[in-house]
């Protein structure tokens, strides 16, 4: 069974749906949108099979989380 969307794509599974994960199981990021830091964190989430977004992620420049 695939752990992440990346593994599913490598295996030719195009209808992969990751398991639902509660937001308290992974940390939000305060990295500013569009930065290498934010992209790196999003990539780590995908590779780990976590949801791409967390409801408390920083979404705007003025947002100081």
Q: Is the pLDDT of residue 65 over 70?
A: no
What domain range is 4 assigned to? 1-65
Read off the tokens for 20: 């639902």
Dihedral through CA 36, CA 42, CA 43, CA 45, nearest 10? 150
Q: Is the pLDDT of residue 1 over 80?
A: no
What is the predicted pLDDT for the residue at 26? 95
The total domain count for the chain is: 1
Q: What is the pLDDT of residues 14-61, one digit of tens each?
A: 888 777 889 999 999 999 999 999 999 999 998 888 888 999 999 988
* Number of H-type helices and E-type strands within the chain: 2, 0
Query: From residue 25, how far is each of 13, 21, 54 by CA, in Å?
Result: 26, 7, 10
Q: Record the pTM.
A: 0.74
Contact indicator for 27, 17 with CB cutoff of 8 Å: no
């Amino acid at each position: 069974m695939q752990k992440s969307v990346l593994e599913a794509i490598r295996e030719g599974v195009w209808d992969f749906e990751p398991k639902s994960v509660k937001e308290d199981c992974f940390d939000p990021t305060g990295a500013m949108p569009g930065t290498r830091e934010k992209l790196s964190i999003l990539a780590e989430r995908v590779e780990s099979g976590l949801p791409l977004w967390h409801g408390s992620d920083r979404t705007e420049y003025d947002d100081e989380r």
